[in-house]
Amino acid sequence: MAKPRIGIINVTGYVGLELARLLSAHSGIDLVSVTGRSAAGQKLAAAFPHLSNLDLTIEAKLADVDLAFSAMPHQESAKEVLPLLDCGKKVIDMSADFRLKDAAEYQKWYGFAHPAPQRLAEAVFGIPELHRHEIGEAALVANPGCYPTCSVLALVPAVKADIIEPDIIIDSKSGVSGAGRSLKVGSLFCEVDEDLVAYSLDGHRHLPEIIQELGALASGEPLRITFVPHLIPMSRGMLSSCYATLKPNKLGSRKVGEELRELYRRYYADEPFVKIVEAPPHTKHVQGSNYCHIYPTFDPRTGRLIVISVIDNLGKGAAGQGIQNMNLMLGLPEITGLLMPGLFP
Q: Which residues, at least 6 apart from 275, have a Cβ–Cβ distance to it below 8 Å? A: 268, 291, 292, 293, 294
CA distance 333 to 215: 30
Q: 246 with 163: CB under 8 angstroms? A: yes
Question: Is residue 167 helix, strand or coil?
Answer: strand
150 is a catalytic site residue = no
| Catalytic residue (choose from 87, 146, 150, 292) | 146
CA distances from 307 to 82, 115, 190, 250 (A): 38, 38, 32, 17
CA distances from 337 to 34, 196, 277 (A): 19, 34, 23
CA distances from 118 to 38, 75, 134, 261 (A): 32, 16, 18, 41
Q: Which residues, at least 6 apart from 216, have a Cβ–Cβ distance to it below 8 Å? A: none
Active site residues: 146
